[in-house]
Amino acid sequence: MERIADLLAAGPTRSFEFFPPADAAATQQLDETLDVLAGLWPSFVSVTCGAGGDGHDRTRDIVTGIGRDRPFPAMAHLTCVGHTREGIAALLDDYAAADVVNILALAGDPPDGSAVSGDFRYAAELVEVVRDHPADFSVGVAAHPEVHPRSADRASDRKHLAAKLHMADFAITQFFFDLSDYTQLCDDLADLGCHRPVIPGVMPVIWPKSIRRFADMNNSTVPEALFARLEALPAPDRIAAAAEAAAELSQSLLEAGAPGIHLYTLNRPEASTQIAELLHM
Ligand code: FAD
């Protein structure tokens, strides 16, 4: 399987993010979405993982399945808060055995805000463990252009991000809607001496109500005019308008030097397909 670090070195990437489906119907929907998006020749795809319980196992099964059956690489999201070093090591062994070589190393969130348990507190500790594994994993980390909600302040968040990213190969950002949030993040990292690729995560607003809720949790600022316009449209028109807005942002990001575009698909193919067409990706 190709390493994302090598793909980024070769030129701009296009990638798609999915979440593990909850039931049989949602599994079929994800398969159909993968069939459609395969036609866009993704550089890679990624699969999120739930914070606790069997979240890691479900992600592992989907990622190894994609790696086995599809002609593009898959990256596993891996959270560490609430997990043990032994459990993480066993998962990394599974990924290595299945030739999955791309890991997005994340803190995750303690379940319903409870106290931190397990062997890890911050994503940077997980990056070290993944780096220490004998498999030559390509390691990504999360970046929060509008600053992570648990941060004391912007300066300390940027400092911790720069230190974490320095040990990794690349970052993928939380979604945002204003180009300047991305360029400011890259400038801040450069000021801290960190020049690793930062792939912007772009969210087409196909479901404004849900995305507003995610934005509240993530500290992402919602552009009210865009959301109000999309909320007033019927579904097919809303998807087209959401794709147009996301394509416009993506185009500006690529012109500003972004090393690729990572689309949050919400497991649906329509908006991503339209964005790719608009961008001639
Ligand atoms: P960290 O890098 O550990 O940062 C968390 C907070 O701690 C920040 O405020 C940071 O400034 C601070 N910090 C870091 N190091 C230190 C230190 N040494 N001392 C003091 N403070 C410190 N969540 C999931 O559950 N599953 C997923 O699949 C998932 N995928 C994601 C994909 C992307 C692209 C992004 C952007 C986020 C994703 N998340 C996912 C959400 C993520 O797990 C949460 O935002 C989590 O709260 C923080 O994760 P992190 O890896 O950024 O944490």
Q: Which of 98, 17, 108 lies closest to 61, judged by CA? A: 98
Counting from 1 in the atom list of ligand 1, the atom nearest the Cα of 142 is 36
Catalytic residue among 17, 231, 244, 255: 17
Burial 30-47 (b: 16+ CB within 10 A, else e): beebbeebeebebbbbbb
Query: Are the CB atoms for 130 and 137 separated by under 8 Å?
Result: yes
DSSP 281: -
User: Three-class SS string for 56-78?
Assistant: HHHHHHHHHHHHHHCCCCEEEEE
Residue 244 known to be catalytic: no
What is the chain's percent helix, strand, coil content, to nearest 5?
50, 15, 35
pTM metric for this prediction: 0.97
In tens digits, the chain (281 residues) has pLDDT values of: 899 999 999 999 999 999 999 999 999 999 999 999 999 999 999 999 986 667 899 999 999 999 999 999 999 999 999 999 999 999 999 999 999 999 999 999 876 656 667 899 999 999 999 999 999 999 999 999 999 999 999 999 999 999 999 999 999 999 999 999 999 999 999 999 999 999 999 999 999 999 999 999 999 999 999 999 999 999 999 999 999 999 999 999 999 999 999 999 999 999 999 999 999 98
Q: Report the alpha-carbon angle 6-170-112, nearest 5.
A: 135
Ligand 1 centroid to Cα of residue 212, in Å, is: 20
